[in-house]
Structure 1
């Protein structure tokens, strides 16, 4: 690396590095949060523009509609097209196999909801009750996965829309069948294989993760990318869990995700160290500068990894090794500084993490450039990331659903709020007969706007209102100047549908405008008052959006005071879960499934509550929040421990005949005690006390394995597996401790 490039990097960091008084982020406020919502409305994320996927979805909606218009069967084709219209929004960026499964499930729920809505639509009080129940189900589904959220919303939409027509049971059954036909046709198009999207969803998810990691590393003091990074990591975990990890490329992508998670945790610890050293006013050219240069070079390496994974067919591999050399040089200088500096303990504490970061980046880059032909790449010793069966996976939807069916779940409490809000909105339009009998758009808007956190609710409310107004204006202009015929209506609706499918993940305002145009023009097949329909939709959307925002204001879910307790509970239950599993290795008797299942569900519930609580806290207009990086870092450090527990549980269930290993019980007790002490320190707002000597406990396990000289091959394999997992457990517990030890200032913020 040239001297000029090094000097340029140093000067850039000197410009970015704030004074010690400005290291922490300014607290949030109502005005700042509303400003964030307003800016988010206008943001267009080009990486989320689903242009290719939208073509197939548009065909699945347009073909039945065009066929119905051509044959004169307009009414039936409209109902079929509505089923296809909604189904096309399912899992636009998911692997095709997973998307097909989700669409089949969505088809079933939509047909059932259309049937129930058609039957109950003529009985007002029953419709209010059923709509509320459907809202609770949709809210609970949202806690399971992004796919579950879409399925729940579509079920509610079908119920509300077809309840408006107040059908007889026979008519309702016919409508449900037509909706199901349209949904199944859209699903059929998804099943058709496409060579161009073979691994695109997995690579797109990984590209987004590594790009956000690069942005996080490059802006170590801003903390502005923490929430976005957490979001793309969750999306990536979901996508990779749904993909086929049995293939060579599937294993490679799973390994890349694992590397990204380790890099993210290491960067969090180093970022906290960099801010601590800056506050301590180290002399120019000290440890803080070296650490900042390591972060800057890491950002360049992460961008190179993202480029290598990009779905584009044409990739020009960058062969430069400047970022790696810069990290190695700064690491060498940091090691020399540790031998002469007065802050030697602080520097020695972060040196292993710098070395680990260099190693993880090197391996990630080699994996990224070999994905195109995994079979001819270098040999991969893949630690399989996802244990079996599916219920023992961290993101298993049914296990998470079961864990959240309790009032102790924040997701379930939001589901109750959504159900009550939908009942109120339905009762409002039934009682007052709003908008010429088209008031069902009010509960639809409430359903789409109301979310569990402040900024998403207000962002969606503003975006939907502006988008619907824009769609109404465009619809009016097209009707006045074009006076479209039915074939022209099909063409206009097709264009609107394509915009809808391609912009949903990229910009919600444009998506809302496209939806408004498509729905109003669809209505124009059965009514001649297209301009009035557009006006009524805009009015009802404004009423529904205002109602959703009012309900959130009256029934908020402020989390800033709850976050320390929820994260502490997460760490504590995780320790209990690991202890329960490790004790079973000491007892060769039967597996106590009842006790283990209880610990398993408690841990899943605590994880769900903690993740939801932190996400909502980060978007609240409240002051004195827990620092974003500390909260997200603790959650990120806890997840690998959960995976260790799931892997250990899977091994237990797969090996019914196992040897008794008494040393595991002692190790489990010490793990549980360490996690309990960390949780207590977090809850009480203090630095953690000394922990049990886990490295010594690990050495005791290794000694027990060596002493078991009579062990058969299967027993030795079990020892090797357990020691490898124990090492990972100790490493991740130490990471949690380091996050709490990095700086006393963030811990002080945790006081309730």
Structure 2
């Protein structure tokens, strides 16, 4: 992609306003928290204290809107506590420019590294630094700084208390995640009716699994309707694929295919009914027509061989779904461990250990997170010093903009830069015009600030440009409470905002962290995890008596995670103005299709795992051994820009086919499909020549 095209796409993305579901009650609750804190501090304290405390409540409210499965009160308290500490340290260092610049450099470096822990940590840390840059400009003493920090923490306590006292759709995020997973499987079943090899995006199932991770206290309080369905959805998906597949399932045409389409459609109807009930917290209403299709006819199903086995398994799983709709299955033990009936969430100590491991992984110069942290630290300190040297005042607007704009990837940085400037322009013009013409007093400005906070919470997910306008107007009205002459500094604020955005985007050009060169590494990781998944499934076919379900399950989860990492990286790489370095876009898409096919084929074989009493298969054991030897070498070849060699796997398949003769079973058919997809991968990677 050329620079002109990349900038055009980034601008278009930044100016896009998306249609999304609004949560007016949640937005109203967050705005009430801000109003309570501002009103109390204006009544009992001073306008300056009201401004700092309002920032604490506002930031805590923003944290509760992030996509996290942690309890919302905990997010509000954590965000307010971090902001209080940051603000207090900022006040102590603000008396001397050199000290504050050093503190800002270290703090922004840590903020940039927090993206290694996760997007929620990165967003909350960014908000913490941005608010600190504003609050430390309010004059105070050391004791006053302690008072400011305490009031900021109070804002988080108020927001957390409101969430506890006035819950809005409790367990709503978990309900939506589980309902989305069931709806995704239902949509998959419908698409399989017309396209037997339709792709499936596992992200809804991954989100549902993340949402199902609970603490012991949450597990005791969890609604009964949220138990059991996720594992049933996981079990249904491979059975649906095996029934629809024309090689290991129903015949491509004829009565078998018609019967398979009926079963797929009925299953989709049942899953949609369950998803609707879970989302709204109501009893499940199962359509009798669909349930009649999922019963074995008196004359027997018009299916044979593997298709018949898949149909019977599908009927059994749907029966479990029906029974769960009447009385949720409490005996389902998930991945949490021995004797647990839920997926345990890591403790605070476990989270700290995981965070430290994530930070250590990113402590290398090639890491995009480390480069982002260094870039953010340099830009923030440079913007602060440069803006302070200009005669405009309000120098914090430049580093504030840089902190809010910079992200670890190119697309978000440039799109947010455009959206930030346009949103700030709108917010300053609206806020400046109102304060200049109406000259509101402290209480009127506080009311306008609360209104901006409410609108911000309501439309936060529609686009960064709208959120930027609301946040800017909120800051303008808050500073007007403390007596800032906003109307006289509109041009200065806009100029400094433009300066901060330009510095952020220029820094990414000078010191980039391109994603495109990493495509082959992520592709090799995906190939490795897919290979482990296939090896685990063929091992289960080879030695049914020694089968370990956890081995297959863990390999599947690793393959899903690797696929998600690659797809996210490939999406970010598409927006970069970088010529391909070893992997063209066409080759990347073809390789992605091939690896998706390997995962689907392995899933088909997982749906036909033999019983423990079945005899062992030497052919499957030989094929698994060939995969075990070939996959690591193939992954190394992908990283070194060489096409992978599947000779060992092809020879093992030929021996299996010769022994099977004219009666190949599901195992050999699956192995044939797997080898075809691996050959497609080699062909796709061979299109990009190794550079001289």
Task: Answer whether TM exceeds 0.5 for this pair.
Answer: yes
| CA distance in structure 1 between the aligned counterparts of 2:57 and 2:527, rounded to whole angstroms | 44
Alignment size in residue pairs? 609
Paired residues of 1:84 and 1:185 also in contact (CA < 8 A) = yes
Q: Deviations over 1:525-575 (max 9, x none)?
A: 123522344544443333333333333334443334423323434664898
Match in the other structure for 1:61: 34
Q: Give the secondary structure class of the aligned counterpart of 1:626.
A: helix
The change in CA–CA distance for 1:604 and 1:267 in structure 2 (over 3 A counts) is closer
| CA distance in structure 1 between the aligned counterparts of 2:566 and 2:511, rounded to whole angstroms | 16
Pair 1:42-2:16 in alignment:
yes
Could you say what the CA RMSD is over the residues aligned between the two structures, in angstroms? 5.5
Of 408, 413, 416, the residue aligned with 1:460 is 416
Pair 1:626-2:599 in alignment:
no
Match in the other structure for 1:180: 153
Q: Deviations over 1:647-690 (max 9, x none)?
A: xxxxxxxxxxxxxxxxxxx9999996576367458655448566
- What is the correspondence of 1:31-110 to structure 2 with a 5 Å cutoff? 31=5, 34-35=8-9, 38-39=12-13, 41-47=15-21, 49-71=22-44, 73-92=46-65, 98-110=71-83
- What is the correspondence of 1:173-572 to structure 2 with a 5 Å cutoff? 173-192=146-165, 194=167, 196-211=168-183, 235-242=207-214, 246-247=219-220, 249=222, 253=226, 255-260=228-233, 303-311=272-280, 317=285, 319=287, 321=289, 325=293, 358=314, 362=318, 366=322, 370=325, 377=327, 379-387=329-337, 398-399=353-354, 401-407=356-362, 413-433=368-388, 434=390, 436-480=392-436, 482-569=438-525, 572=528
User: 422-431 or 351-360, which moves further after superposition?
Assistant: 351-360
Paired residues of 2:126 and 2:403 also in contact (CA < 8 A) = yes
User: What stretches of structure 1 of length at least 5 have no aligned partner?
Assistant: 1-26, 276-281, 340-347, 371-375, 580-602, 641-665, 695-730
| CA distance in structure 2 between the aligned counterparts of 1:639 and 1:29, rounded to whole angstroms | 41
Paired residues of 1:617 and 1:625 also in contact (CA < 8 A) = no
The change in CA–CA distance for 1:68 and 1:432 in structure 2 (over 3 A counts) is closer
User: 129-138 or 285-294, which moves further after superposition?
Assistant: 285-294
Q: Deviations over 1:32-86 (max 9, x none)?
A: 7854762574343433x23222222212211121223334622212211111111
Paired residues of 1:293 and 1:327 also in contact (CA < 8 A) = no
Q: Deviations over 1:88-142 (max 9, x none)?
A: 1113367897222233332332222112222223444443443333233223333
| CA distance in structure 2 between the aligned counterparts of 1:401 and 1:219, rounded to whole angstroms | 43
Of 609, 612, 615, the residue aligned with 2:568 is 615
| CA distance in structure 2 between the aligned counterparts of 1:236 and 1:445, rounded to whole angstroms | 35
- What is the correspondence of 1:570-719 to structure 2 with a 5 Å cutoff? 572=528, 611-619=564-572, 620-621=574-575, 623-624=585-586, 626-627=588-589, 630=593, 633=596, 673=629, 676=632, 679=635, 684-686=642-644
User: 470-479 or 355-364, which moves further after superposition?
Assistant: 355-364
Q: Give the secondary structure class of the aligned counterpart of 1:549.
A: helix
| CA distance in structure 2 between the aligned counterparts of 1:506 and 1:402, rounded to whole angstroms | 34
Match in the other structure for 1:718: none
Shift of 1:166: 7.9
Instruction: Give the alignment's TM-score, normalised by structure 2.
Output: 0.70
Match in the other structure for 1:711: none
The change in CA–CA distance for 1:326 and 1:681 in structure 2 (over 3 A counts) is farther
The change in CA–CA distance for 1:472 and 1:440 in structure 2 (over 3 A counts) is same
| CA distance in structure 2 between the aligned counterparts of 1:508 and 1:58, rounded to whole angstroms | 19
Q: Give the secondary structure class of the aligned counterpart of 1:385.
A: coil
The change in CA–CA distance for 1:252 and 1:736 in structure 2 (over 3 A counts) is farther
Q: Give the secondary structure class of the aligned counterpart of 2:34.
A: helix
| CA distance in structure 2 between the aligned counterparts of 1:687 and 1:33, rounded to whole angstroms | 40
Match in the other structure for 1:13: none
Paired residues of 1:470 and 1:513 also in contact (CA < 8 A) = yes
Shift of 1:335: 6.1
| CA distance in structure 1 between the aligned counterparts of 2:316 and 2:366, rounded to whole angstroms | 35
Shift of 1:522: 0.3
Shift of 1:515: 0.8
Q: Deviations over 1:360-386 (max 9, x none)?
A: 98379648x83xxxxx51545413133
Shift of 1:356: 9.8
The change in CA–CA distance for 1:218 and 1:576 in structure 2 (over 3 A counts) is closer
| CA distance in structure 1 between the aligned counterparts of 2:138 and 2:132, rounded to whole angstroms | 11
Shift of 1:500: 1.3
| CA distance in structure 1 between the aligned counterparts of 2:403 and 2:302, rounded to whole angstroms | 54
| CA distance in structure 2 between the aligned counterparts of 1:217 and 1:675, rounded to whole angstroms | 31
The change in CA–CA distance for 1:98 and 1:173 in structure 2 (over 3 A counts) is same
| CA distance in structure 2 between the aligned counterparts of 1:265 and 1:555, rounded to whole angstroms | 45
The change in CA–CA distance for 1:96 and 1:464 in structure 2 (over 3 A counts) is same
The change in CA–CA distance for 1:575 and 1:66 in structure 2 (over 3 A counts) is same
The change in CA–CA distance for 1:417 and 1:507 in structure 2 (over 3 A counts) is closer
Paired residues of 2:432 and 2:476 also in contact (CA < 8 A) = no
Shift of 1:518: 0.8
| CA distance in structure 2 between the aligned counterparts of 1:677 and 1:212, rounded to whole angstroms | 35
The change in CA–CA distance for 1:293 and 1:681 in structure 2 (over 3 A counts) is farther
User: 84-93 or 120-129, which moves further after superposition?
Assistant: 120-129
Paired residues of 1:120 and 1:163 also in contact (CA < 8 A) = no
Shift of 1:190: 2.9
The change in CA–CA distance for 1:258 and 1:124 in structure 2 (over 3 A counts) is farther
Match in the other structure for 1:748: 683
Shift of 1:216: 7.0
Instruction: Give the alignment's TM-score, normalised by structure 1.
Output: 0.65
Shift of 1:639: 14
The change in CA–CA distance for 1:692 and 1:289 in structure 2 (over 3 A counts) is same
The change in CA–CA distance for 1:121 and 1:258 in structure 2 (over 3 A counts) is farther
Q: Give the secondary structure class of the aligned counterpart of 1:383.
A: coil
Q: Give the secondary structure class of the aligned counterpart of 1:42.
A: coil
| CA distance in structure 1 between the aligned counterparts of 2:402 and 2:425, rounded to whole angstroms | 16
User: What stretches of structure 2 of length at least 5 have no aligned partner?
Assistant: 338-342, 536-555, 577-584, 604-621, 653-665
| CA distance in structure 1 between the aligned counterparts of 2:358 and 2:286, rounded to whole angstroms | 46
The change in CA–CA distance for 1:61 and 1:334 in structure 2 (over 3 A counts) is farther
Pair 1:137-2:115 in alignment:
no
Shift of 1:423: 2.5
